Amino acid sequence: MCDPSGTATTRQRGDAWSLAEKGAPPLEVPLITGLEALGLSAVRTQVLGTLDDRPCFSAELPHDVDAPEGHAFVSLRKLFGRVDQELFELAGLAFQIQYWDRVHQVCGSCGGGLEIRGHERCKRCAACRLDYYPRVAPAMIVLIEDGPRILLTRQPRFPPGMYGLVAGFVEPGESLEGCVAREVMEETGIDVQDIRYFGSQPWPFPHQVMIGFTARYAGGEIQVDTRELEEARWFHRDEMPSLPPPISIARQLIDAWLARGSAGSAG
């Protein structure tokens, strides 16, 4: 919640949910002084920081609670692209912190109880003094270009007709660039070169950071790993399919590539 006028809530479930006000888009997170105003009580709360100079807190709700009148629980994934980026990132932070809090109630080493350390976002085992910080899992996403075309892929969970980019988690002992080359080869069967950093984006599903790269096609024929993808194919810049929403780093990578081509054509 943003005290005195805002809240971000999540339900105690495996997926990420947020409480939103019903009504016409854009979706709005309710702005209240406390959950009592909505007739709700929290399982646990966490301090998030500030938004527009207002202190913000997250509140985890029981999984079986009903949304108050005039409100609805909305999947965090469905908020993506429907609220401004700052608010989405705050909702994502709320879920990540609540997820960390919920799954770290006892020590994984000795089974002792965990206590919040007051001066930082950390839990410490009262028995063995082992510290637990919120986990962040690095994952890469890459735009692969070959002249006027790029490689786009489809995952089964994508909306009909939408394509995205190759992505995957970084493995232990692996560099980011090594992850790019490995994931591209495993999922599509092609080689890449000239791997370059583009940017990054928090991705709260449940605790990732997406690290964006560009790369150039270096050879090979597409061989789709059907355990990961439905399809992978080349698309010419003049024949783009449905793409991820503009707020996503996938779309930012694609838009930047398209803009470079337009600038070159104009010159």
Which residues belong to the annotated binding site for Zn(2+)?
Answer: 107, 110, 125, 128
Q: How far apart are CA 152 and CA 164, in angstroms?
A: 5
| Cβ atoms 164, 139 nearer than 8 A | no
Helix, strand, coil % (nearest 5) of the chain? Answer: 20, 35, 40
Q: How far apart are CA 87 and CA 48, in angstroms?
A: 12
b vs e for 1-28, b when ≥16 Cβ sit within 10 Å of the residue's Cβ? bbeeebbbbbbbeeebbbbbeeeeeebe
Q: Which residues are annotated as a binding site for substrate?
A: 77, 120, 133, 250
How many CB atoms within 10 Å of residue 57?
A: 21
Q: Which residues are annotated as a binding site for a divalent metal cation?
A: 167, 183, 187, 228
Give the total residue count for the chain: 267
Residue 144 CA to its chain's centroid (Å): 21
Q: Which residues are annotated as a binding site?
A: 77, 107, 110, 120, 125, 128, 133, 167, 183, 187, 228, 250
